[in-house]
Amino acid sequence: MTAAPNAATRAMLRRWQRLEITVRCALEAGNPARLGQFIGAAARLVAEDALAEWATHERCFNVLMNTAEDAALPWHWRCMCIDFACRPLARLTTLARGDRARHRRMVELARRLAQADLACLQPPPAVGQ
């Protein structure tokens, strides 16, 4: 953060935090638009200089991956989180250009996505099978 946030920025930050909880807990698993809103709110906060860009996109990626790996959550929500995880990862890839430490970290994150246990993402068996 570069300066003390104004009231509008604080409200935007609270909204992003609520969206993070909504995503992580699958509170609106029937509304995949919430995933895009979560990532979009993060991008707006970065654009307002309210949050550091690298840390914010890495946090989004980790929230999405932690959610995708949580077997207690609905299968379709976890699959959507895997689909959306590439968005913050793509931004991190751009930010890592020319910075060895960030590039190494980005490679670790990309490996996490590539090696995600997709077996846990299999749909539950149909009733009666």
Sign of CA dihedral 18, 103, 85, 91: positive
The pair of three-digit structure tokens given for residue 98, joined into one six-digit string: 């020319």
> Which of 121 and 28 is assigned the larger pLDDT?
28
Say how many domains are in the chain. Answer: 1
Look at residue 38 and tell me if it is in a domain.
yes
Alpha-helical runs (H) found in the chain: 7-24, 33-47, 53-68, 75-95, 100-114
d(CA 9, CA 101): 30
- DSSP secondary structure letter of residue 118: G
Look at residue 61 and tell me if it is in a domain.
yes
38-76 tens-digit pLDDT: 999 999 999 999 999 999 999 999 999 999 999 899 989
pLDDT value of residue 71: 87
Look at residue 124 and tell me if it is in a domain.
no
> What predicted TM-score, i.e. pTM, was given to this entire model?
0.88
Calculate mean pLDDT across residues 118-123: 61
d(CA 121, CA 78): 7
66-116 tens-digit pLDDT: 999 998 999 899 999 999 999 999 999 999 999 999 999 999 999 999 988
Look at residue 127 and tell me if it is in a domain.
no
Look at residue 47 and tell me if it is in a domain.
yes
Q: Maximum CA pair distance of the chain?
A: 59
> 128 pLDDT exceeds 80?
no
Look at residue 82 and tell me if it is in a domain.
yes
Domain with 22, as residue range(s), is 7-117
